Structure 1
C-alpha cells in the first residue's frame, strides 16, 4: 500500500523535466531572432555631429527598411520644430528651414519592416549668419487704421533681387472679409528695401487683416539671413477721407462717402505746389517744430506748429499755420496745407493713420515715389502689380 504512491511520484518527475527543457529551448530561439532583426536605418539632414551645418534647408529625416513612428525636434531654446510625415511613413520634413547659429536635437522612433522598434537621437549646430536681417512692420500689431493703409514691411538689410521671390512667397495676408491685393517691392525714402501689400481698391471698413511671415532660415542675400517668423494683425476702422481742392483753398472731410465739413487753408505756392494724387496718412504729431532745413530750404524758418498730420516722408503735411494771414485766400505754403489751429485739430482728430488725402487741382506734375511715405495709391492697380517679384 505504501509503495504505490512512491512509484507514481517517480513516474511524473521525468515528464516535468522534459516540459521545462522544452520551454527553455523555445525561449532561447525567440530572443535570438529579435537580436538579429535589423532596425530601420535613420538618416537625418543636416548630419548629426555637425558644428556648422549648411543654412537654407529644412530638417529632413529618412527611414530605410522601416517607417518613422514619431519625431521630436527642438532647438536649443526648447522650441518644438513642426514638420510633416510622408504618406508612406518613410520620411519627415520640417515646415521651415534651420536658423543660423542654432543647435537642434532630433529624436526619432521607428519600426522596421520586420517589426523591430528603435529610437535614435541626432544633434547638430548650424553655421552663423554674416548678418541677421530683421523687419519693421506697419501697421503695428492690434492697431486700427484707415481704409487706405497698406501692409508695409521695412527690412534693415538689403534684399538681393534673386531672393525676393522666395521671401514674397513666405509672406501671407489673410482678410475677413476676403479682399484682393498684391505685394510690391519698394525702395523706402531712407534707402532701405521694403515690401508693401495693398488692396486693389480701398479696404472695406471693419476688415480684419492677418499677416504671417514664415521667414525663419530664409536667405536674404549678401550674407544676410532671417532667424524668426512674424505674425501680426490689424483692423480697418471707419471710412474717413479728405480731399484738398487747391484752387479753392479748401479741405473737405468725408465719412462713408458723405461730406462732413469743409475748412479753408493754404496749399503750396506756384513755386512750391502741393504734391498731387492720393496720399496716405503715415503718422501724426500733436506738436512739432517746422524746420526749413529738413525740406531743402536752408535756415529760412523754424516755426512751432500743432496738430501735424504727415503725408509724405519728404515733408508734405497738414498742420496749423497761425502765422499765415492768407488762409483761405492765397496758396503760399512750401507744399503743405496750412490751417488755423482749431481746424488743424479737427483734421488731426478726423483722419486716422492709414486714411487717404487726395490733392486735386495742383500744378505739381511730379509723381510722388511710392517709397516717399506710404504712397501706394500713386499707382494704378496694373502698375502696382508689376512690382511683385512673382509677376
Structure 2
C-alpha cells in the first residue's frame, strides 16, 4: 500500500513558530495507484495532528476518527475504486503539541475495480409506506458468502422512535442476492427510518467492489392491513387494528389454493393483463384487469375479475383473490405499498419463499434472525 511522509517542506506551509516540526505520514502514498480495500490513515511522529480533511474527486468528504492524543487519524470506511483522494493535514510539532505548526497536502488515486457492485433499495428515498414494509437491498452482482458479514455490518438502520429489527440474507425471485431488514413486529405508524450503507471500498467477492456509500430514508404511514378469510370468500380491511369494511371475492380453487400466511404489498398497477403464461398455464388466457395489487413476485394478486360470474360465491381462481372492479379499486386505494395481507383458512400447504416478493412475514422472528451473516 505504501505511505508518504509530509513535512512543511514537502508540499506544506510551515509557520515561524519555534520548536520541532511534526512528521506526518499518509497512507496510501501519493503518486502511486493504491490498492482497493484499505482505509486511509494519517500518522504524526514527533507531533500531534490538529486537523485532517479528506475529500474525493467529487468533493465528498471522507469521515474519520482522530485519536485523542492527536497521533493518528483513520477513515471510517475504505477507499473506493477509481477515485482520487486529497488529504489535507494540520499538525503541531513536539510531544506536547506546542512546537511548530505545519500544514500539508497529499493526493493519491485508487485502482479501478474489475466490476462495480451497485444496489437498488426498497422503499425509495422519501417514500411513505405501510407498516409491514421491510428495508430491502438488492445487489447488481453476486455477493460471496464470506463477504456478507462485513457488508451487513456496514449497513445501519436508525429509527425514530426506536424499533427492534434485524438484517437477513435473501435470494430474490430474480436470482439476485438481497439483504432485508425487518422489524420484529410491524412498524408503529409515523415511524421515521434512515438507512446508511458505508459500503464504498468493500469487496463483495467474485471481482465486485462497492464504489460509493448509500443513504436513504422513508416514513411509515397509516396502519392499514387486510385479512382474507378463504372459506368465507371475504376480505376484511383494518385500520388502526379495527375492521372498517368487508369485500366479497373469490380466492384460489381447491386445485390452485391461495397461498397462506402474511404477505406484503410489493407494488400496484392500475391496468394489467392477466397472462396465463406467467403462472405456468401456457397461452390459455389473456384477460385485461384493473386495480391490481401485487403480493408475491410469482403472481399472487388482488385484482378485478369482471369475467368471473362467481365472485364472492365460489373460490375458483388460480391463486389470486378476484373481485368486482369497484371493490378492487377500494382495496387498491386502501392498501399502501408495504401493507400486509394475511390469508387464513386456505388449503395450501406451500410456504411462500421470503424472496418471492417482500415476504419477510412468512417467517417467525426466531426464523428470521437465523438469516444474519454476523455470528
Higher helix share: 1
- Whether 2:30 is the aligned partner of 1:41: answer no
Partner of 1:133: 117
> Any residues of structure 2 matched to 1:316-355 within 5 Å, and which?
316-355=300-339
Could you tell me which residue of structure 2 aligns to residue 366 of structure 1? Answer: 350
- Asked whether 1:237 is paired with 2:221, we answer yes
2:365 is aligned to 381
Q: 1:37/1:258 Cα in 2 relative to 1: closer, same or farther (>3 Å)?
A: closer
- TM-superposed CA distance for 1:280, in Å, is 0.4
The structure that has the greater radius of gyration is 1
- Cα displacement (A) at 1:41: 2.1
Query: How far did 1:40 drift?
Result: 2.3
**Structure 1 ranges of 4+ moved more than 6 A:** 34-37
The 8 Å contact of residues 20 and 99 in structure 2, kept in 1 or not, is answered as no
Residue in 1 aligned with 2:75? Answer: 94
Deviation readout 1:330-371 (Å, 9 max, x if unpaired):
111100000000010111111111111111111110110000
Aligned mates of 2:351, 2:169 — CA distance in 1? 17
Q: Name the CA distance, whole Å, in 2 between partners of 1:73 and 1:253.
A: 53
2:10 alignment partner in structure 1: none
Deviation at 1:293, TM superposition (A): 0.6
Is the Cα contact below 8 Å between 2:18 and 2:99 reproduced in 1? no
- The answer for unaligned runs of 5 or more in structure 1 is 1-33
Match of 2:42 in 1: 61
Residue 198 of structure 1 corresponds to: 182
In structure 2, what is the equivalent of residue 10 of structure 1? none
Shift of 1:322: 0.3
* RMSD (CA atoms): 1.6
Alpha-carbon displacement from aligned partner over 1:89-124 (angstroms, at most 9, x marks no partner): 111112221110011122222222182333332221
**Matched-pair contact (CA < 8 Å) for 2:194–2:218:** yes
TM-score by length of 2: 0.92
Unaligned runs of 5+ in 2: 1-15
Alpha-carbon distance in structure 1 between the residues aligned to 2:18 and 2:338 = 70
Tell me, in whole angstroms, the C-alpha distance in 2 between the residues paired with 1:372 and 1:215: 26
State the 1:39 CA deviation: 3.0
In structure 2, the partner of 1:84 is 65
Deviation at 1:204, TM superposition (A): 1.1
